């Protein structure tokens, strides 16, 4: 007598226990039962998971090219901002004066510095919104998308808006001291940059 087939039963990739599909957690196709999930996530964090083939981490150079693409997009946006802001400043009575007194010189420079501060601040707001929106919504900025990269949690899960915004500011730390925070990604087993370590994120190659 043939046993009743239960086609929907799947097997945990870790312990082999038969489990209903909706109880299994999928880590890029690596199906894990509830009992094994926490241990498996821990293994993923440590980069020793047997299913770690599930993640192909994005290395330094591919990420570098992705940031160049994002940089170009943001530079165009910054250029548009500046194109509007600078003429607005210039038309506000910058009188050509070949021999200004110190007071006059300061009066000429101060608005210039102010406008530069505004541009820096605007760039920061635009950059942070750009990263937050694209990473939280789509898992990747346009530059990363173009190169098939994705930002995920160690278990492959999505990045919340708060974490994406935090990661933007953590990147500033990475860019200090000759970009060392970025360069270390080339030496980490999971290709983590400093901001990935701070925010507990990973950059992986999309697999679809
Ligand atoms: Zn299991």
To which H or E segment does residue 130 belong? Answer: helix 102-138
Does 132 map to a domain? yes
Residue 7 has pLDDT above 60, yes or no: no
Residue 5 lies in a domain: no
Find the 202 Cα to ligand 1 centroid distance in Å. Answer: 24
Q: Count of alpha carbons within 13 Å of 109, Cβ hemisphere only?
A: 7
Domain with 178 in it = 60-205
Cα Rg of the chain (Å, integer): 25
Q: What is the DSSP letter of 52?
A: G
59's tokens: 């290395």
pTM of model > 0.75: no
Torsion of CA 87, 120, 76, 196, to 10 degrees: 180
Output the CA 23–ligand 1 centroid distance in Å.
Answer: 11
pLDDT in tens, 86-114: 776 666 555 566 777 888 888 878 888 88
Q: Is 156 or 199 the better-scoring residue by pLDDT? A: 199
Q: Of 2-6, 15-19, 45-49, 147-151, where does mean pLDDT reach its minimum? A: 2-6
Token reading at 93? 């009575």
Residue 120 has pLDDT above 80, yes or no: yes
What's the CA-to-centroid distance between 88 and ligand 1, angstroms?
Answer: 64
Q: Do residues 100 and 151 share a domain? A: yes
Residues 47 and 132 in one domain: no
On whether the CB atoms of residues 143 and 67 are closer than 8 A, the answer is: yes
Contact status, residue 109 vs residue 117, Cβ threshold 8 Å: no
Same domain? 198 vs 138 = yes
Residue 72 clears pLDDT 60, i.e. is over it: yes
Place 1 in a pLDDT band, splitting at 50, 70 and 90. very low
Over the stretch 162-184, which tens digit does the pLDDT of each residue have? Answer: 999 999 999 999 999 888 999 99
129 with 159, same domain: the answer is yes
Q: What pLDDT sits at residue 137?
A: 96
List Cα–Cα distances, 117 to 81, 89, 126, 190, in angstroms: 13, 13, 14, 37
Q: CA distances (Å), 29 to each of 48, 97, 178, in order?
A: 17, 70, 39
The verdict on 117 and 190 lying in the same domain is: yes
Distance 34 CA to ligand 1 centre (A): 7
Residues 36 and 75 in one domain: no
Which pair of structure tokens corresponds to residue 140? 């990747």
If pLDDT is split at 50, 70 and 90, which confidence band does 17 have? confident
* CA of residue 187 to ligand 1 center, whole Å: 32
Percent of the chain with pLDDT over 90: 46
Residues 103 and 42 in one domain: no
């Amino acid at each position: 007598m043939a046993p009743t087939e239960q086609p929907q039963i799947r097997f945990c990739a870790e312990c082999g226990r038969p489990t209903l599909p909706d109880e299994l957690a999928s880590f890029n196709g690596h199906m894990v039962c509830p009992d094994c999930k926490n241990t498996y996530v821990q293994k993923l964090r440590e980069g020793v998971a047997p299913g770690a083939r599930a993640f192909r981490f994005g290395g330094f150079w591919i990420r570098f090219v992705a940031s160049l693409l994002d940089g170009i997009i943001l530079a165009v946006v910054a250029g548009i901002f500046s194109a509007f802001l600078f003429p607005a400043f210039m038309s506000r009575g910058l009188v050509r004066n070949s021999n200004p007194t110190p007071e006059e010189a300061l009066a000429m420079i101060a608005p210039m510095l102010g406008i530069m501060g505004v541009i820096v601040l605007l760039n920061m707001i635009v950059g942070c919104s750009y990263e937050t929106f694209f990473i939280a919504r789509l898992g990747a900025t346009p530059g990363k998308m173009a190169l098939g990269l994705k930002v995920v949690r160690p278990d492959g899960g999505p990045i919340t808006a708060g974490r994406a915004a935090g990661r933007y500011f953590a990147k500033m730390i990475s860019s200090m001291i000759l970009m060392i925070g970025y360069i270390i990604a080339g030496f980490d087993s999971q290709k983590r940059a400093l901001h990935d370590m701070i925010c507990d994120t990973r950059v992986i190659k999309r697999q679809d």
